[in-house]
Chain A
Amino acid sequence: MKVCAPHMGTLYVALRALFEGLGTEIVVPPPCSRRTLSLGTKYSPEFVCLPYKMLLGNFIEALEMGADTLVMIEGDRICRLGYYMRVMEHALRDLGYHFEVITTRIFQRQILGLPDGLRVFAPGAPLAVILSAVRLALCKLNALDAVERVLQRARARELTKGQAGSVWRKAIAAIDRAQNVAAVRAARDDATQVLEAIPQDTDREPLRVGIIGEIYVVLEPFVNMDVERELGRLGVQVHRTIMLSDWTRFTLFLSAVGMSAHDRAHKAAMPYLSRDVGGDGWESVGETVLHAQARFDGMVHLAPFTCMPEIIAQNILIGVRKDVDIPVLSITCDEQMGRAGMITRLEAFVDLLRRRKRTSGRRVVRRDVARSKRFSFGAGSAALPGGKSGRLSGD
């Protein structure tokens, strides 16, 4: 059995640890590239969303490398994710590949279902082996996310742009190579130290921007044109609401005891969107409200073209950003996206945030005036800077 799972950010590091721990051979497809995208696009229905096209490209490249078992996560039942494999399977068989499909439903029984689920890949493996493989994989995920959080800080402040990025790439490789938990932790601490030692521009207070949106385009730097790096280059410290380690922690462990990662976000979203619309739409709305309350400077909202939940969120965000007074830049990712256009939009957005922040002393006063006006005349906040930025970000 040669297992292959599609890419999503640094997920492959954990999956490699997991399957190697189980003694199953794993084929990691080449990193997402132009070729992946064009292969995927060529054999996909025209209007299907970008993650489908990328995943199909990953699978084709893995099958070329000799994979014979495709692993796919079965998502919720509102967005297209749950339908992917039904269509993909036909497309791949038409191309003449022979393979088996294993869809995982790890959502269903949380951690209790995991050993049974994994025995599919390693029949008869003792529980101890499975658990230690899972432990190493989770440890790698946590380590990667810990380093990435430090990276997000360092990127916004580094004097020589790009330094932090190269440390990050080395850290991924080191964590990927690590064979046990101790080695992973050592690699994590190493990378953190190096990142913290990078010479920083201490004079400038970086802008803080939250990143929300659909999980795949948020996590996969190839499809979002590495938006985090570009923002870091512009002196912005990003806060990504979706981290892989949080996601696994909650889906595997904490939801078993009735906790949800998103309770706070859902509660915050309630006045604007009162129910789950699939994917990450509800969270996108809620996190925008929460970030505004935490006095972030702005939000970047990433969504694949034609993504159903995020379109709902995007429509609702138009009102939200006026209400809670935070600029939101919505970026739609698809195969037609160009780097230059994206950077121009980010630069304009960051300029806007800077100006907003510079005038914020004045703005606070004006907002107070506006608030008192609102009480006397009804809605009167449309002409405020928040309203203006809202128009710009509508694009």
Chain B
Amino acid sequence: MASVGIPRALLYYQYYPMWKTFFEELGASVRVSTPTTRATLSAGIERLVAETCLPVKVYCGHVLELAAQVDYVFVPAVRSLEPKVLNCSKFLGLPDLVRAVAPEAPPLLDPEIDLDQKSSEDRFRLPPTSEISFKARVIFYQTVYQVGRRFTSNPLRIRAAAENAWRVHQDYACLMQTGLTPPEAIARWEGDRCPSNASRVATAREEHTIALIGHPYNLYDTYITHNLVAKLRGLGVRILTSEMVTPEELRQGIVDLAGQPYWTYEDEVVGAAGYYIRDGRVDGLISVDSFGCGPDSTLVDVVRRAAREVRRPFMSLVIDEHTGEAGLVTRLEAFVDMLARRKGRMK
């Protein structure tokens, strides 16, 4: 039985249940790398140019961990999920990057997901349509089929696996909209009925609501953000993130803040910020971005401006491989204290 490795980094937090279902239905065994540790990060840092952003370093660390354990590593190149909205270069170049810096990795499963393809008649249509073209759909199905063909030659089986995977993905998305974070939702999905996560104990005394603005792969990597979510919950904070917002609300949030969508995964973040700012439910916003992140560098500015306009406190945390835990805790505590004082004053 072939084994597929999935690095616990980047898009893992958004799509893991879907990927796992797909590969297991095809008869492969799925292995996820262990949660990030200092060793994972150092392994990634060693291989990459210093300027590379933190999540990509973490990703390479995870691939290196899997290298000796599996037959394939799944490293998709997600170019676009809708027309005219592309992804940051790092997602596009990921398979080639991994191949360049981790030559010892086993063969990569590197489908290119690109729904931005124009069909020939669309080329001359002005303005271009925003619907996914027929050609893009065909290419997408071909891509899925090509991945599946490594495990089975039966196209019907690949089709069934893909459909099941998609259903699982939708369930997973619904689960998160109820207020679970991706790791909690994954644990729930995998049948862990009583998550031993200490953070849920704090539910009783949630005094503040904070929107956490940031990429899932930064927010929920407990090593690189020093367990930020649990720390905030420990301080009596209810956390709202981008996974808890429906796609329509996200779209509205993007229009509010930045006009047209631009980067796929950045838009999820900025859309959530726009939604929570308009919604008025949150007492404050904290953005978590990694040092050197291109999209974040411009969008955090947009969010900061929007938060200032509606007079909501906003704090930007920049994380990198050197982030000290004590400094982070101090800033979080200060922010929560400030929220408490602000509430007292407003009463």
Q: What is the CA–CA distance of A45 and B297 in the complex, to the nearest angstrom?
A: 6
Q: What is the CA–CA distance of A306 and B85 in the complex, to the nearest angstrom?
A: 21
Q: What is the CA–CA distance of A48 and B50 in the complex, to the nearest angstrom?
A: 17
Interface segment among B93-101, B169-177, B185-193, B233-241: the answer is B93-101
| B88 contacts A45, C-beta separation under 8 Å | no
Contacts known (A47-B293, A90-B305); A83 close to B298, Cβ less than 8 A: yes
By beta carbon, the residue of chain A nearest B266 is: A83
A319 within 8 A of partner (CB): yes
Binary flags per residue of B84-108, CB closer than 8 Å to A gives 1, else 0: 1111111011011100110100000
| B294 contacts A274, C-beta separation under 8 Å | no
B77 within 8 A of partner (CB): yes
Contacts from B to A (Cβ < 8 Å): 48-49, 51-53, 77, 79, 84-90, 92-93, 95-97, 100-101, 103, 112, 258-259, 262, 291-302, 305, 318
Contacts known (A45-B297, A47-B297, A78-B88); A311 close to B112, Cβ less than 8 A: no
Which of A90, A272, A279, A308 contacts B96 (CB under 8 A)?
A272
Contacts known (A48-B297, A78-B86); A275 close to B291, Cβ less than 8 A: no
Residues of B within 8 A of A309 (CB): 89, 93
Residues of A within 8 A of B318 (CB): 47
Contacts known (A87-B301, A275-B79, A319-B100); A306 close to B93, Cβ less than 8 A: no
By beta carbon, the residue of chain A nearest B95 is: A274
Binary flags per residue of A241-280, CB closer than 8 Å to B gives 1, else 0: 0000000000000000000000000000000111111110
A77 within 8 A of partner (CB): yes
User: Chain A CB within 10 Å — which of B53, B84, B92, B112 has the most?
Assistant: B92
Residues of B within 8 A of A277 (CB): 89, 92-93
By beta carbon, the residue of chain A nearest B98 is: A315
Q: What is the CA–CA distance of A281 and B258 in the complex, to the nearest angstrom?
A: 26
Residues of B within 8 A of A316 (CB): 93, 96-97, 100
Smallest CB separation, A303 vs chain B (Å): 8
Closest 10 CB pairs of A and B: A312-B93, A47-B297, A308-B89, A308-B294, A277-B89, A45-B301, A277-B93, A319-B100, A309-B89, A316-B100
Contacts from A to B (Cβ < 8 Å): 45-49, 52, 76-80, 82-84, 86-87, 90, 272-279, 281, 305-309, 311-312, 314-316, 318-320, 330, 332, 394
Contacts known (A47-B291, A47-B297); A78 close to B259, Cβ less than 8 A: no
By beta carbon, the residue of chain B nearest A319 is: B100
| A306 contacts B89, C-beta separation under 8 Å | no
Smallest CB separation, B218 vs chain A (Å): 14
| B51 contacts A82, C-beta separation under 8 Å | no
Contacts known (A49-B294, A272-B100); A312 close to B112, Cβ less than 8 A: no
| B84 contacts A306, C-beta separation under 8 Å | no
Residues of A within 8 A of B296 (CB): 47
By beta carbon, the residue of chain B nearest A318 is: B100
Residues of B within 8 A of A48 (CB): 297-298, 301
| B298 contacts A45, C-beta separation under 8 Å | yes
By beta carbon, the residue of chain B nearest A82 is: B262
Contacts known (A79-B294, A315-B48); A274 close to B96, Cβ less than 8 A: yes
Given A275-B112, A276-B92, A319-B100, 12 more contacts at CB 8 Å?
A47-B291, A47-B296, A47-B318, A48-B298, A87-B301, A305-B51, A306-B292, A309-B93, A315-B48, A316-B97, A330-B49, A394-B49
Q: What is the CA–CA distance of A308 and B90 in the complex, to the nearest angstrom?
A: 7
Residues of A within 8 A of B53 (CB): 311
Smallest CB separation, B5 vs chain A (Å): 21
Residues of B within 8 A of A281 (CB): 89, 93
19 pairs from A and B in contact (CB 8 Å cutoff): A47-B291, A47-B292, A48-B297, A79-B294, A272-B96, A273-B93, A275-B92, A275-B93, A278-B86, A307-B294, A308-B88, A308-B89, A309-B89, A311-B49, A311-B51, A311-B90, A314-B51, A319-B100, A332-B51
Smallest CB separation, B102 vs chain A (Å): 11
Q: What is the CA–CA distance of A276 and B112 in the complex, to the nearest angstrom?
A: 12
Residues of A within 8 A of B291 (CB): 47
Residues of B within 8 A of A307 (CB): 294
Residues of B within 8 A of A311 (CB): 49, 51-53, 89-90
Q: What is the CA–CA distance of A318 and B84 in the complex, to the nearest angstrom?
A: 32
Q: What is the CA–CA distance of A242 and B223 in the complex, to the nearest angstrom?
A: 42
Residues of B within 8 A of A308 (CB): 88-90, 294
Q: What is the CA–CA distance of A308 and B51 in the complex, to the nearest angstrom?
A: 10
Smallest CB separation, B142 vs chain A (Å): 16
By beta carbon, the residue of chain B nearest A44 is: B301
Smallest CB separation, B121 vs chain A (Å): 16
Contacts known (A77-B86, A318-B100); A306 close to B49, Cβ less than 8 A: no
By beta carbon, the residue of chain A nearest B261 is: A77
Which of A84, A274, A276, A306 contacts B51 (CB under 8 A)?
A306
Q: What is the CA–CA distance of A312 and B99 in the complex, to the nearest angstrom?
A: 12
| B262 contacts A77, C-beta separation under 8 Å | yes
Q: What is the CA–CA distance of A341 and B295 in the complex, to the nearest angstrom?
A: 29
Residues of A within 8 A of B297 (CB): 45-49, 80, 306
Which of A49, A86, A320 contacts B258 (CB under 8 A)?
A86
By beta carbon, the residue of chain B nearest A282 is: B93
Q: What is the CA–CA distance of A78 and B262 in the complex, to the nearest angstrom?
A: 8
Residues of A within 8 A of B51 (CB): 305-306, 311, 314, 332
| B298 contacts A80, C-beta separation under 8 Å | yes
| B97 contacts A315, C-beta separation under 8 Å | yes
Smallest CB separation, B3 vs chain A (Å): 25
Q: What is the CA–CA distance of A164 and B295 in the complex, to the nearest angstrom?
A: 41
Residues of B within 8 A of A52 (CB): 298
Residues of A within 8 A of B85 (CB): 77
Smallest CB separation, A139 vs chain B (Å): 30
Residues of A within 8 A of B300 (CB): 45
User: Chain B CB within 10 Å — which of A49, A79, A83 has the most?
Assistant: A83
Residues of B within 8 A of A330 (CB): 49
Smallest CB separation, B301 vs chain A (Å): 4
| B52 contacts A278, C-beta separation under 8 Å | no
By beta carbon, the residue of chain B nearest A88 is: B298
| B84 contacts A77, C-beta separation under 8 Å | yes
Smallest CB separation, A311 vs chain B (Å): 5
Residues of B within 8 A of A46 (CB): 297
Q: What is the CA–CA distance of A140 and B49 in the complex, to the nearest angstrom?
A: 40
User: Chain A CB within 10 Å — which of B89, B295, B305 has the most?
Assistant: B89
Q: What is the CA–CA distance of A275 and B76 in the complex, to the nearest angstrom?
A: 13
Residues of B within 8 A of A49 (CB): 294, 297
